[in-house]
Chains A and B, each alone.
Chain A
Amino acid sequence: MLRLFLKILKTGVVTERFKKPKDDELERLGIEIKRHIDKKFSGSIAIREVDAGSCNGCELEIHALNNPYYDIERFGIHFVASPRHADVLLVTGPVSRNMQTALLRTYEATPNPKWVVAVGDCAACGGEFGVSYASCGAVSNVIPVDVVIPGCPPTPLALMTGLLGLIR
C-alpha cells in the first residue's frame, strides 16, 4: 500500500490546461447551437457514446478524454451508461445497416432537448467505408446531426475543442 501512495505522490497532477475554442474554430466544427446549450444545461452535459459501426479507432481516442491528462470531467462533461440519462449522443462510425435500428432507438430513448455529435470522418461523411449494402454512411443519413468533429480518428484535443464548444 505504501508503494501505491508513493507512486501517486511521485506522479503528482499531470492534468493539462486547455483553451476554449475561438469563434472561427467553432464555425469549423459546425457548432450553431452553442447558445441553446449554454442556456439549457448551465455548463454541464451528459454524453452517451454510441459506436454505430466504427473500427474502434475513435473509441480509443474518446477513452483518452478520461485519462489524467485531459480529464474532461472537470469541465462538466461526463459519460453516462444509458441514453435515458444523456443530453448528447456522441456517435462514431459509418452507421452499419445492422446498427441502424439500434441507433434510431437510442436516439428515441434520449430525452429532449438532445444533441448529436458525429465523431470521426466515417461519422461525418462515411469515410473509408461510404454507403454500401452494409453501411448507411454518414450519421446524418440516419439521425439529425448538430455537430461534426472530423478526423481519423480525431485527436483528444480535437474532441475537447469540439465538446467544450458545446458548453459554457
Chain B
Amino acid sequence: MSSANWTIDFLSRLGVEGIAVIVPGQGGPSPQPLSQEGEGLYNLSIQPIVSIDEQEHFLPSPSGRGAGGEGAVINVTTTDKPVRNQNPLLWQIAANDWRRFAEAAVEQGLRWVAGWAEQVQGDFLVNACFEKQGVYILSRTRVAVNAPTLPSQATVYPAANRSERHSRDMFGINFVDHPDNRRWTRHQAWAEDSYPLRKDFPVQGAPVDVTPADMHYPFIKSEGQGVYEIPVGPVHAGIIEPGHFRFQAVGELILNLEERLGYVHKGIEKIAEGRAPDSLARLAGRVSGDTTVGHCWAACMAMEQAAAIEIPPRAALIRGILAERERIANHLGDMGAICNDVAFVFAQMQFTRLRELWLRTHAKVFGHRLLMDRIMPGGVMCDLTDADCTLIKREINVLRNELADIMPAIDLNSSLEDRLYTAGFLAPNIAAAFGALGYVGRASGQDFDVRRDAPYAPYDRVTVKVAVETKGDIASRFWIRYKEINASLHLIEQFIDQLVAGGLVSEWQPASAGSEGLGIVEGWRGEITAYVRFDAENKIARFYPRDPSILNWPALEKLVLDNIVPDFPVCNKSLNGSYSGNDL
C-alpha cells in the first residue's frame, strides 16, 4: 500500500466521500471549500493543497471554522511533492470532536507522536501529531484563552497523558475527562493559577527567594500487610540527573513504580521565545546534552522548513555522520553502564575506553567532544578533510575489531545472562500503547525508524537497516544497541563515500511572521520532533522539542513490575530516558 493511501482510507472512514477531489496546486489565502457536508461522523471541507511551509495556509483561518456546522471541520492539506515528514498533513479539527478524532485515529492504527499547544493572540492552538507508515498528520484545534476546555485524548492514547498534563500546567488548558488530573511539570515554582507559556506571563515570573519542595504531590498509595514504600530522589546516588521514583514493594518485589519528574524544568520553551535562529539552535543543542546533535538537527530542520531553505548536500551528509557518531558514542556508554549495573566491570571498562577513544576523535575532527553546536541553521559549522575521512574510516575498522573481541566474551558470560535475560520485560502491546521509541520500542517489536520510514536527507540516499527484536527484555535492549552500532558504522562509511564537494551553509533567509515548521529526525534514543513558529523579524514565537524520552519514561513504570528492587538501576539504564529532555 503506498504511503499516502491510508490517509484517504482514514478520511473515508471519517465519513468523507469523493476524496479524489484533493487537487495539487496553490490555494489562495481563503480558499473555497471544494466539498462540504459529507455524510457520516464528520463534516469535512477539503481545501486546495498546500505544503507546511506555506504559512498562510498553515495558519488556521477563522473562516474555515464552523463551516461544517455542528460537526468537525477538517481542512485537509497535502502536497504534490513526495509525501515525506518534511510535509506533514495538517488537519484542522473542531474542538468538540477532539477526542472522537483520536478514537478514529486509534482505530486506524495511528501512532501518537507528540502533543503541544501555543498561544496565538486570543486563542490556544492545540496540536496532536500522529504517524502511520511514515506519513505524519498534524491535527490542530483552537480554543479560546478565556474558555480553554478540550476533550482529553489521553483516555484513547495513554501516550498523550503527560503531554496533556504539561499543556494544562503551562497554558491552563482544561482537558475534560483526563484520567489523571494531577499536576506534572508544575512543582512549586509558580502559582497554580498562573501559566508560564501564556504570552502575558513574564519570563522572569514571580519567584519566591527559596522555592519550597513539592511535598504534597498525591502519590498513588497502597495498603496491606507487608507493603512498603521506597522514595528515591530527586538527588540520586550515582552521577545522574535528578528525578523522584516512588516504589511500592513487598519484600524485594516491585508492586508499583510511580515516576515524578520535572525537577530539571528550566523553562526551555519560554526562554526560546524571541530568540534568533542561531540562538535557538544553541538552546536546542542543550535540551538533552547527550542528544545535542539530534535536537539541534530537528530544530534547524524545523526552522529551515519555515524559512523555505534547502541545506547543501554536503551539509546533509555531514549532519548524517554527526548523528550516527552521536548514536555510537551513546550506545557504547550505555552498553558499558548496563553491564556495570549488574557488577560486570570488565564490560564497563572496555566500553568506557572505546567511548573515550570515540569522543577524542569527535574533538579532533569536529572540534567538540560531544559535538555541541556543530549544526547551525542552514547547514553545518564544520567540514571534513580527506585526512579526516581516512581517520574516521580507519577508526571504524578499529572499533569493529575491538567489538569482535569483546562481544563474544560478553555473550558467553553466564552471570550476565542470568541478570539480563527476561529481566525488565516490556511486552510489545504495552510498548505499542505507550508509543515507545528507538531501541526501547524496537526491542519490543515496534518496527519503526524515521531514517527508513520517513527518510530525510541524507538518509534518502542510503538503505537504512533497522534491527528489531521481540523479546523485550534488558538483554534485547542491550543487543539491539550493538546491532545499531554496526548499522551506524556502515552508514558513516556510505556517507563518507558519497561526500560531495560544495558549500556547508545555505544563506539564511528570514522566515516570514507566522511561518512554521516541524522537524522530525531519528535521534539516538529514537524519533525527535521539534516544532517552530516564527514571529516577525526572524524571531522565534514558539519552540517545542519532543524528546523520545517523553514517550519512553511511562514504559519504565511498566517494565519494572514484578522485578526486584535491586534490579531497578539496570532496568532504568536499559531504557536510559533523558530527564532534561523530558522536563524541558
Does A130 lie within 8 Å of B271, measured CB to CB? yes
A75 adjacent to chain B (CB < 8 Å): no
A43 adjacent to chain B (CB < 8 Å): no
B76 adjacent to chain A (CB < 8 Å): no
Stretch among A23-31, A52-60, A160-168 lining the B interface: A52-60
Within 8 A of A (CB), among B376-425: 405-406, 408-409, 412-413
Could you give, for residues 323-353 of chain B, a 1 whenever the CB lies within 8 Å of some chain A CB and a 0 otherwise?
A: 0000000000100000000000010011011
Stretch among B14-22, B39-47, B114-122, B236-244 lining the A interface: B236-244
Q: Name the one of B287, B290, B356 contacting A67, with C-beta atoms under 8 angstroms.
A: B356
Q: Name the one of A4, A61, A82 contacting B369, with C-beta atoms under 8 angstroms.
A: A61
**Bound Cα distance A100, B262 (Å):** 13
Does A98 lie within 8 Å of B289, measured CB to CB? no
Within 8 A of A (CB), among B468-508: none
Within 8 A of A (CB), among B357-383: 359, 363, 369-370, 372
From known contacts A7-B409, A132-B205, infer whether A55 and B267 are also in contact, taking CB-CB under 8 Å.
Answer: no
- Residues of B within 8 Å of A99, CB to CB, are 234, 242, 263-264
Closest to A94 in B: B266
Q: Which of B270, B271, B372 has the most CB of A within 10 A?
A: B271
From known contacts A57-B370, A101-B212, infer whether A96 and B349 are also in contact, taking CB-CB under 8 Å.
Answer: no
A77 adjacent to chain B (CB < 8 Å): no
A104 adjacent to chain B (CB < 8 Å): yes
Does A58 lie within 8 Å of B289, measured CB to CB? yes
Q: Name the one of B189, B239, B262 contacting A59, with C-beta atoms under 8 angstroms.
A: B239
From known contacts A79-B239, A134-B265, infer whether A64 and B286 are also in contact, taking CB-CB under 8 Å.
Answer: no
Does A56 lie within 8 Å of B290, measured CB to CB? yes
Instruction: Identify whether the interface residues of A are mostly helix, strand, loop, or mixed.
Output: mixed
Within 8 A of A (CB), among B280-326: 282-283, 286-290, 292
A50 adjacent to chain B (CB < 8 Å): yes
Does B238 lie within 8 Å of A81, measured CB to CB? yes
Does A132 lie within 8 Å of B271, measured CB to CB? yes
**Bound Cα distance A153, B370 (Å):** 8
Instruction: Identify whether the interface residues of B are mostly helix, strand, loop, or mixed.
Output: loop
Q: Which of B188, B237, B266 has the most CB of A within 10 A?
A: B266
A49 adjacent to chain B (CB < 8 Å): yes
- Residues of B within 8 Å of A3, CB to CB, are 405, 408-409, 412
Q: Name the one of B202, B265, B352 contacting A96, with C-beta atoms under 8 angstroms.
A: B265
Q: How far is the CB of A158 from chain B (nearest CB, A)?
A: 11
- Residues of B within 8 Å of A94, CB to CB, are 266
B355 adjacent to chain A (CB < 8 Å): yes
**Bound Cα distance A106, B263 (Å):** 15
- Residues of B within 8 Å of A39, CB to CB, are none
Does A133 lie within 8 Å of B288, measured CB to CB? no
**Bound Cα distance A8, B265 (Å):** 42
**Bound Cα distance A10, B405 (Å):** 10
**Bound Cα distance A58, B15 (Å):** 53
A44 adjacent to chain B (CB < 8 Å): no
B69 adjacent to chain A (CB < 8 Å): no
Does A133 lie within 8 Å of B270, measured CB to CB? yes
From known contacts A96-B265, A98-B265, infer whether A133 and B207 are also in contact, taking CB-CB under 8 Å.
Answer: yes
Within 8 A of B (CB), among A1-44: 1, 3-4, 6-8, 10-11, 14
- In the complex, besides A96-B266, A105-B213, 11 extra interface pairs with C-beta distance below 8 angstroms are A3-B408, A49-B239, A52-B242, A53-B263, A61-B369, A61-B370, A97-B188, A106-B235, A128-B283, A128-B286, A135-B267
Q: Could you tell me which B residues sit within 8 Å of A by CB distance?
A: 187-190, 196, 201-207, 210-214, 234-235, 237-242, 262-268, 270-271, 282-283, 286-290, 292, 333, 346, 349-350, 352-353, 355-356, 359, 363, 369-370, 372, 405-406, 408-409, 412-413, 578-580, 583
Q: Could you tell me which A residues sit within 8 Å of B by CB distance?
A: 1, 3-4, 6-8, 10-11, 14, 49-64, 66-69, 79, 81-83, 93-94, 96-102, 104-106, 127-136, 152-153, 155
Q: List 17 A-B contacts (CB under 8 A).
A: A56-B579, A57-B289, A57-B292, A59-B240, A60-B370, A64-B359, A68-B353, A96-B583, A102-B234, A102-B242, A102-B263, A128-B286, A130-B271, A133-B202, A133-B206, A136-B207, A152-B372
